[in-house]
Structure 1
Amino acid sequence: MTTPIDQLTVLPPCDQPLEIVREASTFVVVNKPPRLLTVPGRHPANRDSVIERFRAEHPQVHAVHRLDFDTSGLVVVPLTKTSLSHLSRQFQARSVSKTYTAVVQGIVRDDEGEINLPMAPDPERRPRSKITEDGKPALTRFKVLERDHSQDRTRLALYPVTGRSHQLRLHCQAMGHPILGCEFYAPPEVAAMASRLLLHACTLAFEDPETGEALSFSVPAPF
């Protein structure tokens, strides 16, 4: 059931600019700040987004992938129908490589591993998702970057194989290590440990939709 417009949350405005990482004739790679939508929201007050900021010069622009409102980091925006089609095929084939940095509560014991738990939207707690046996496959690989025993937290590199909504947040919570600043899946005391969600899309690699060249971009986490 679709939520009526007057019951949708109005998000706070984002006054941070988009950082242009690479601008080509057929695509743009940007570093999205936290608390900015990738695509316009349903509520008229939630139009500001990565895509909307490009539509003044590129009226037909569409998103090929998204980052959560609270997540910062790299997003590729196709500027032509041909590049949209080409990049869409790459995402569908899972040939696009993505790495995220996260800071989680607690000390993660294993140096590396994977979380393979199916997920589905949680209709009772929108916009949250849930782990459920009848959900869609969801796989995340992880590697420990740093353990901070004094503050009881761990810095992780996360490698999503699938791209479910809230996958990284929910998978970290499911293995007992919620991401700091996560208002949806972390206990209140862990959510309060950071002023923002400590999740950042730090690398993005794909094939140039025009030339076929292998491209890779990197922006370190700002936390």
Structure 2
Amino acid sequence: MTDERWPGTRKSFSLYANMTMSARLLDSVSVPVLYEDDRYLIVDKPYDCRIQNPRDDQGPSVQSLLTKQYPHIPIFRNVHQLDYATSGIYVLALTKQAAAEASKLFRERQVQKTYLAIVAGHLIEDSYHIDQPIADDPDHDFRMKIDVNGKSAQTLVQVLERGYYRYTDETTKQEKTMAVSKVELRPVTGRRHQLRVHLQHIGHPIVGDYNYESKYTDTFRMMLHAHKLRLPLKAGHLDIEAPDPFQGLLRSSPE
């Protein structure tokens, strides 16, 4: 199932993606703040939530929700990207100077980022170094793919836990169980959809990833979360951690 407002993504059933949300309900939603000073606001972005909407779209986004939380802040400046379906750490700058400094750090790959994901199947090895180039998929205007002529891309994968995930299929409402692994991901490079493409490439796509699972797991969200971030600012390093939304999600047996 796809949503025409966001080509290539699954239609979301989350609170944050409901475009018919009433103004009263929207007022009751807040974005968790992880860090705040006079230069930066760092939040725990909800899954299935845009950073900002096109002009003709009045649905909830990170920026529209923060505008309600911080009506005295005239503008929130984006300094990096985080996919619509991905949750976790997102950095916003509050001044032009702060935006310039942080943007440069992200652009030059000086920011250390760590993600958590639940992937399909049990990985055989405990750690992986995936080194596969990535390019646009000419057969799809949203997806990326492994391509020898693409841009270099490297991801470090560490298995944290192996187990089973029990969920209710959003379409059939049936209870299902699947073997999964919880992994920590460290992107060495920062290509579009890099983590999602690399995990698909090794045969363990992210659970709930409509675009990269060959057999789509119709669960409540895509299981990818920006968990930790180190921002090496001139004034000192910022080390940020967002709570783990997958804590306790895995079962030790399929029963």
TM-score range, shorter chain: 0.7 to 0.9
Partner of 1:172: 199
Match of 1:3 in 2: none
- State the distance in 2 between where 1:164 and 1:113 align: 18
Q: For residue 242 of structure 2, what is the aligned residue in structure 1?
A: 219
SS of the aligned residue for 2:57 comes to helix
Deviations 1:33-79 (A, max 9, x none): 00111233x47226642234445544443211111111100011011
- Whether 1:191 aligns to 2:228 is no
Asked whether the 8 Å contact 2:30–2:65 carries over to 1, the reply is: no
Q: Which amino acid aligns with 2:244?
A: A
Contact kept in structure 2, 1:8 and 1:43, CA below 8 Å: no
Tell me the distance in 1 between the aligned counterparts of 2:60 and 2:128.
37
| Contact 2:51/2:61, CA 8 A, preserved across alignment | yes
**Residue number in structure 1 paired with 2:151:** 136
Q: 1:100 to 1:84 in 2, by over 3 A?
A: same
- AA aligned to 1:33 is P
The equivalent residue for 1:201 is: 226
Is 1:67 the counterpart of 2:67? The answer is no
CA-based RMSD of the aligned residues comes to: 2.3
Q: How many residues align?
A: 212
Contact 1:139–1:160 (8 Å) recurs in 2: yes
Alpha-carbon separation, structure 1, partners of 2:157 and 2:181: 12
Task: Report how far residue 110 of structure 1 moved.
Answer: 1.4
Q: Deviations over 1:68-123 (max 9, x none)?
A: 11110001101111001111121122111111000111111111121111112224
**For residues 70 and 149 of structure 1, what CA distance do their matches in structure 2 show?**
22
- Structure 2 partner of 1:125: 140
Show the counterpart of 1:163: 190
Q: Which amino acid aligns with 1:45?
A: D
Q: What SS is found at the alignment partner of 2:78?
A: coil
Structure 1: give runs of 5+ residues left out of the alignment. 1-6
- 2:161 and 2:95 map into 1 onto residues whose CA distance is 41
1:25 and 2:15 are equivalent in the alignment: no
Contact 1:104/1:178 (8 A) holds in 2? yes
How many Å separate the matches in 2 of 1:58 and 1:43?
20
Q: Deviations over 1:101-158 (max 9, x none)?
A: 0011111111112111111222431221111122211111110101116942111000
With the length of structure 1 as denominator, give the TM-score of the two structures: 0.85
TM-score, structure 2 length as denominator? 0.75
8 Å CA contact 1:51, 1:61 repeated in 2? yes
Q: Which protein has the larger Cα radius of gyration, Structure 1 or Structure 2? A: 2
More deviation, 194-203/54-63: 54-63
Q: Are the aligned partners of 1:143 and 1:156 in contact in 2 as well (CA < 8 Å)?
A: yes
